[in-house]
Amino acid sequence: MSSSLFDVVNPSNESQISQVVRNTPEQTSRAIERSTSAFASWKLVPPSQRAALLRNFSETVRSHVKELADIEVANSGHTISNAIWEANNVADVLAYYSGSVERLGGREIPVAQGIDITFKEPIGPVGIIVPWNFPMPIASWGFGPALAAGCTVVLKPAEVTPLTAIRLGELALEAGIPEDVFQVVTGSGSDVGETMVLDRAIRKIVFTGSSAVGSRIQRLAADQIKRVTLELGGKSANIIFDDADLDKAAASAPSSVFDNAGQDCCARSRLLVQESIYDKFMERFEEAVKGVRVEDPSLETSQMGPLITASHRESVRSYVDESLVLFKGSAPEGPGFWYPPTVIGGIDPSHRLFREEIFGPVVTVTKFKDEQEAIALANDSDYGLSGSIWTSNLGRGLRVARGVQSGNLSVNSHSSVRYSTPFGGYKMSGLGRELGPDAPDSFCEVKNVFISTEI
C-alpha cells in the first residue's frame, strides 16, 4: 500500500505551506524494524562518544534556532518570541542530557558471601508521540533522555504540525547521529501511532495528548506489559490570596492562560480569587486582558497567535455562553483561526466550563473565602498537572502547595517547566515523569548481578 500526502496549513492565514507524507502502517513497521537494527549498535556506543554526539546535536540545533522558529510560527501559529524559546529549549535539553550519559551507572550493594552489582541497560526502541501544541520541546523531552540512555527513537509528530520534527530529524543526521537511531515518521494516529503502540519491538511509548487517547494507549500497551509515560490534560488553578502582590498577580495572569492561545495543558484556566480582594484584582485583570496583543505571530510585538485549526476554534466556541462572559480581549478578523482572550464568571464548580479542559483562551473566575476553600476548589478536578499560588506569606504558600493535588506548582510565579526538574501530573493528568536528572532512568532496565566469593 503506497503512502499519500496531506496538506500542512498556516493557522494565522489559512494558506497551505507544505505537503507531507502520510505513512502507512506497513511503512511504520519498516521504520520500527530499522530502529531495532540500529539499537543493536547504538547501545554499544561508548558513553563518551554518545555524549559527544548529543552535544553536537545540541550545537547543531542551536545554530538553526531562527530557522526552526520561523517554521514553527508558520506551522503552529506560535509567536516568534515563544518559538525562539522553544527551539532553544530543544538545544538546552540535548545539552543537559549529554551530561547524563557518562553518569548513568549502577551501584554495588553490600551482601553476604559475595558482591552484588547493578547495571542500567537501555530498554530498546522507543516510540514518542507528540501533540500539536508544543511540537519541538515536547519531542525533545522524550528523545533527549532516551538517546542519552542508549535507546533508539521513532518520533511521530502530530499530523497538523509535523514540520519542525522533520527538520530536527535532518539536523540529527547532520550532527552525526547514526542513521535510523532517530527517525521521524509522519502520518495519522491510527496508522502510525497505533502501529507503534502495538509493535512488540517498541519497548516504551512516551505520549503527550488528551486523557482519552492516553487511556487507550495504556490499555493497548498493557497486553505487552509495555512501559508508558503519559502527559495528559490539565485544568490548573491560579490561586490569588488577599496578601498577594495584586499588581504582579494581575499583570501575569493573562500569560498564564492565554499563552499559546490557551493551547497548553499547564494553562491556569481556573482563576480562584479571595473574595475580600476580588473587585480590586478584577479591575487590574481586565486591564491586563484587554492589553494582550493578539496579532500576526511573526511580529515581535505579538503576544498571542491563532488557534491551530478551524475545527478546534469551533470546539472552543462551543463552550462559551456569551451571557457568562465578564469581558474579552480583542482578536483579528479572518483569515486565520483567531479567538479573543475570554473571561467567564458566575458559574458553579459543577459547570462544564469549570471542569472540562477547553484548550483555548478561556478562563473562569471563582471567588473563595479562605485557605481551606481555595484548596478544595483547586482539587475539585479530575486533573492535577500544574498551578500557581499568589501570596506574600511563605507558610501559606507551602501549606497550599502541599495541599493542592498537582504535579507542578509555582508560588508567586507561573513557571511550570524546567528541563532540570521533573514534570508530570496527578490523577488524569498523566502517569510517570519527564525531564529532571532521573529521566534517563525511565528508559533503562535495571539488571542485578550477584557474584559469589565463597571458596
C-alpha cell at 145: 533522555
Res 243 pLDDT > 60: yes
Q: Which residues are catalytic?
A: 231
Rounded mean pLDDT of 176-198?
Answer: 97
Res 135 pLDDT > 90: yes
The per-residue DSSP string of 298-341 comes to: TSTT-SB---S-HHHHHHHHHH--GGGEEEE---PPSSS-----
Is there a contact between 307 and 339 (Cβ–Cβ < 8 Å)? yes
E-strand stretches of 304-431: 325-328, 342-345, 362-368, 383-384, 387-390, 410-411, 426-427, 430-431
Domains and CATH numbers, the chain: 4-232+429-452 (3.40.605.10), 237-418 (3.40.309.10)
Identify the burial level of 303 via C-beta atoms within 10 angstroms of its C-beta, where 0-12 means exposed, 13-18 middle and 19 or more buried: buried
Q: Directed axis angle between helix 135-149 and helix 47-62, to 10°?
A: 160
Q: What pLDDT, on a 0 to 100 scale, did the predictor assign at position 455?
A: 81
Of the candidates 370, 383, 359, 107, the residue with the CA atom closest to the CA atom of residue 234: 383
Which residue's entry shows cell 493528568? Answer: 429
**Mean pLDDT score of the chain, rounded to an integer?**
97
Rounded mean pLDDT of 60-78?
Answer: 98
Predicted structure pTM score: 0.96
Is there a contact between 215 and 249 (Cβ–Cβ < 8 Å)? no
Task: Report d(CA 164, CA 182) in Å as an integer.
Answer: 14
Q: What pLDDT, on a 0 to 100 scale, did the predictor assign at position 2?
A: 59
Q: Which positions ≥6 away from 450 have C-beta within 8 Å?
A: 111, 114, 115, 116
* pLDDT grade for 113, boundaries at 50, 70 and 90: very high
Q: What pLDDT, on a 0 to 100 scale, did the predictor assign at position 311?
A: 98
Buried/exposed 28-47: b ≥16 CB within 10 Å, e otherwise: bbebbebbbebbeebbebee
Instruction: Tell me the backbone φ, ψ of residue 347, rounded to 5 degrees.
Output: -115, 155
Rounded mean pLDDT of 164-186?
Answer: 98
Identify the burial level of 311 via C-beta atoms within 10 angstroms of its C-beta, where 0-12 means exposed, 13-18 middle and 19 or more buried: exposed
Res 1 pLDDT > 60: no
Task: Report d(CA 225, CA 222) in Å as an integer.
Answer: 5
Question: Which amino acid would we find at residue 208?
Answer: T
Task: Report d(CA 206, CA 202) in Å as an integer.
Answer: 11
Res 3 pLDDT > 80: no
pLDDT tens, position by position, 278-291: 999 999 999 999 99
pLDDT tens, position by position, 248-264: 999 999 999 999 999 99
Coil/strand/helix, residue 160: coil
The per-residue DSSP string of 224-292 comes to: TT-EEEEE-----EEEE-TTS-HHHHHHHHHHHHHGGGG--TT---EEEEEGGGHHHHHHHHHHHHHT-
